[in-house]
């Protein structure tokens, strides 16, 4: 996958790309990320990327010309899915991350200031995405969130590819509790079943704990989930 980022503060993103899974997947050739400074496509001597809004009002607006010029240059094959990061976008979810991970070429445009000229939205952008109901000072951190989430579901990113598809949200349930050694830490004991070596019982326990945790913390996720009678009974017990 090729991923181009257009940002006003590329330095927010670039260092994170040199660490952990993000670095590993790029070194292995599974992902190419280029972070560009939008100012490189300005033509005036002040390298202006923003201007006052027509009609007045507070705040500056990202100008259309540098964004049109940059995407024209980066999307020569016209095959890119172009994302604009904004709190007005559709919420980022794990299914959306997985859909994006199947694209060959993504261009992420990071917003700043009051917003972007509407013609960028109309002519260039394929989708607008929000990483949550809060306002960041710019789209760079949101872009980094998306890049990280995509990178870890790409084939070869995790040592064990299966684990990306078994974690929280991929199955619409939160993850079950995890333990590692020691079996007894200052009197706090690991549940007996996990030490038993009985794989069927462990699997069952994990599923019940995942259901309980989801029912307690995120009951909204269960609406999407096809529950058996047995699972419903577990959830009703949690509710009581």
Q: 155 burial class (0-12, 13-18, 19+ CB within 10 angstroms)?
A: exposed
Nearest CB to ligand ADE, comparing residues 108 and 235:
108
| Stretch of 16-24, 38-46, 132-140, 214-222 lying at the interface with ligand ADE (CB under 6 A) | 132-140
d(CA 205, CA 191): 10
The answer to whether the beta carbons of residues 36 and 5 sit under 8 Å apart is: yes
Nearest CB to ligand ADE, comparing residues 53 and 87:
87
| The binder of ligand ADE chosen from 25, 131, 147, 153 (CB under 6 A) | 131
* Contact between 130 and ligand ADE per CB under 6 A: yes
* Contact between 136 and ligand ADE per CB under 6 A: yes
First to last CA, the chain: 48
- The residues, any chain, with a CB within 8 Å of residue 177's CB and separated by 6 or more, are 209, 213
* Contact between 86 and ligand ADE per CB under 6 A: yes
| Stretch of 21-29, 50-58, 79-87, 209-217 lying at the interface with ligand ADE (CB under 6 A) | 79-87
| Stretch of 32-40, 93-101, 128-136, 148-156 lying at the interface with ligand ADE (CB under 6 A) | 128-136
Residue with structure tokens 């960028």? 120
* Contact between 85 and ligand ADE per CB under 6 A: yes
Q: State the SS3 of 123-166.
A: HCCCEEEECCCCCCCCCHHHHHHHHHHHHCCCCCCCCCCHHHHH
* Contact between 214 and ligand ADE per CB under 6 A: no
| The binder of ligand ADE chosen from 41, 139, 164, 174 (CB under 6 A) | 139
CB of 147 to ligand ADE, least distance (A): 13
The answer to whether the beta carbons of residues 48 and 42 sit under 8 Å apart is: yes
d(CA 52, CA 234): 58
What is the binding site for ligand ADE (CB under 6 A)? 85-87, 111, 130-132, 134-136, 139, 142
């Amino acid at each position: 996958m090729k991923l181009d980022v257009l940002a006003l503060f590329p330095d927010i993103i670039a260092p994170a790309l040199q660490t952990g899974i993000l670095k590993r997947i790029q070194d292995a050739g599974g992902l190419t990320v280029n972070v560009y400074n939008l100012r490189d496509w300005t033509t005036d001597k002040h390298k202006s990327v923003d201007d006052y809004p027509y009609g007045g009002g507070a705040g500056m607006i990202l100008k259309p010309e540098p964004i049109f010029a940059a995407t024209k240059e980066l999307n020569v094959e016209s095959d890119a899915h172009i994302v604009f990061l904004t709190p007005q976008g559709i919420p980022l979810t794990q299914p959306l991350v997985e859909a994006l991970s199947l694209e060959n070429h993504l261009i992420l445009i990071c917003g700043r200031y009051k917003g972007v000229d509407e013609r960028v939205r109309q002519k260039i952008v394929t989708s607008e995405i929000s990483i949550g109901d809060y306002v960041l000072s710019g789209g760079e951190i949101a872009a980094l969130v998306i890049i990280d989430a995509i990178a870890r579901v790409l084939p070869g990113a995790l040592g064990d590819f299966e684990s990306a598809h078994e974690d929280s949200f991929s199955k619409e349930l939160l993850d079950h509790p995890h333990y590692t050694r020691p079996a007894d830490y200052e009197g706090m004991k690991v549940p007996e079943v996990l030490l038993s070596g009985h794989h069927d019982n462990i699997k069952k326990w994990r599923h019940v704990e995942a259901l309980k945790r989801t029912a307690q913390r995120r009951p909204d996720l269960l609406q999407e989930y096809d529950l058996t009678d047995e699972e419903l009974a577990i959830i009703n017990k949690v509710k009581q």
